[in-house]
Amino acid sequence: MLALHKTPLAVLLLAAIATFFAYSTVGMAKPAGAIQWLDVVAEGGTSLLAGVWLLMTLSSRPRGKVTYLLAAGMGLIMLGAWADCLDEFYKIGKEQRWDHWLEAVFTLGGMLILTAGLYFWRHEQFSLNLHLQKRERLFRDHQAFDRVTQLVDANYLRRLILMEQERHTDVSNCVALLDINSFHLLNREHGVDEGDRALQAVAHMLLLNLSNQDVLCRYAGDRFAIYMPTTTPIEAQRKLNHLCAMVAQMHFYTQSRQVQIQITMRAVCSEAAENLDNLLERLDPLERTSMSGEVPARIVRTPASPACA
């Protein structure tokens, strides 16, 4: 995660070096007997700990306003303590007041910025806690995972959609159903275990091509359902076309006979603005004609090459 924050870390390092050169070039080095070593330990330790806090913050958070406010505040406090520590080693003339201003600006400015960061972090945390609390209640009240694909099941999805519809009544949310073409042939010719492996492969491919906000579940049998919050029907249709194309390009090989089975899907979607049971019944791809632009239904079997086996 630190790799995401190379620029602020480089700026902080340059500022620390510039502060050292300012004291060492303008000030006069104090003799060892005049140095207050207890103050050096206290101020140097404060600077070191502030730097550790900064690294811990940047290593655990993505880019964003809250992250950079917290980091800037800790960084300035670190520089203020660093300047205070250098003041123990170098004597600055009384006629020069810049060192006092530097320490005050670094320390006070850092505290103000850190306070602002903590304020926004508090609001962010309240929002996350509320969201996690509702999710935790759903998981606690219901064993929501499908055994084969480890996806949430249809009951979890129904409850999630009802909860999201209550929270976001003014935005477009969509639900989609996807059905594997001719899945019964795969089960019949290669066995249920290979069918389960195919379901797992399709689930992984769908997850890789969905955004973090979308929720994928195994609806029933060889059917998957996707809840897409804050998504218009046009955007949802575009996503489904992409998902069907990605599954069609997937290379699935059976373990038993080492043959390739090309899996294709059909899908339909609609806004999630009505009762979910009625919506899913209306969207059921087995009771609807295939969607416009659907990938043709086919299962192609080719022997696996030695490199792919």
Provide the 8-state DSSP code for 224. E
**Per-residue confidence (pLDDT) for residue 35, from 0 to 100:** 85
Query: pTM of this prediction?
Result: 0.49
Q: Considering only the top CATH level, what class is 145-303? A: alpha beta
User: What's the rounded Cα separation, in Å, for the pair 225 and 220?
Assistant: 9
Q: Backbone phi, then psi, for 117, in 5-degree steps?
A: -65, -40
SS3 268: strand
Query: For helices 154-167 and 98-141, what crossing angle results, to 10°?
Result: 130
- For the chain, domain boundaries: 2-130, 145-303
pLDDT in tens, 140-186: 555 567 788 888 888 888 888 877 777 766 778 888 888 898 888 88
User: What's the rounded Cα separation, in Å, for the pair 149 and 136?
Assistant: 21
Lowest mean pLDDT of 22-26, 154-158, 170-174, 296-300, name the range. Answer: 296-300
